[in-house]
Amino acid sequence: MCAIGSIVYGDWVSLEAVTARLPREMLREVERLAQKEKVDRSELIRRLLDFALRQKRVEEALQSYREGKVTLWRAAEIAGTSLREMMELARVKQIPVPYTLDDLRRDIEYVRRKTSGE
């Protein structure tokens, strides 16, 4: 890696050059997409890599939640999403949310207190 300098890009202060060997077909696809989106190849690769990294964070956060290592709230923080979005992702991935009968009773009592004006 070698520093390019103080080029401002999104939230990053500077960019560094990275060399990667790509299969010819993959490079053709990158060039096709870059042309379609009217950006240069490097910009498209940055966008694709950013997208893939975000997806990987979400996958890792959901896996940690599924294994009971983190709460749903912490999983959202890890993934860089809102709690609501993480709840939806967990639903889509059919990850059960541990919710007991005691939790339900407590929630019902809470709603009763709030609706009765206490």
Q: Which residues pair with 17 in a beta bridge?
A: 2
What is the pLDDT confidence band of residue 4, given thresholds at 50, 70 and 90? very low
Residue holding tokens 């860089």? 80
- Residues 80-107 pLDDT 10s: 998 889 889 999 999 987 767 886 788 7
* Contact in structure between 4 and 15 (CB atoms under 8 Å): yes
User: Can you tell me the distance from the alpha carbon of 40 to that of 25, in angstroms, rounded to the nearest whole number?
Assistant: 17
End-to-end Cα, the chain, rounded Å = 62
- Residues 44-72 pLDDT 10s: 999 999 999 999 999 999 999 999 898 88
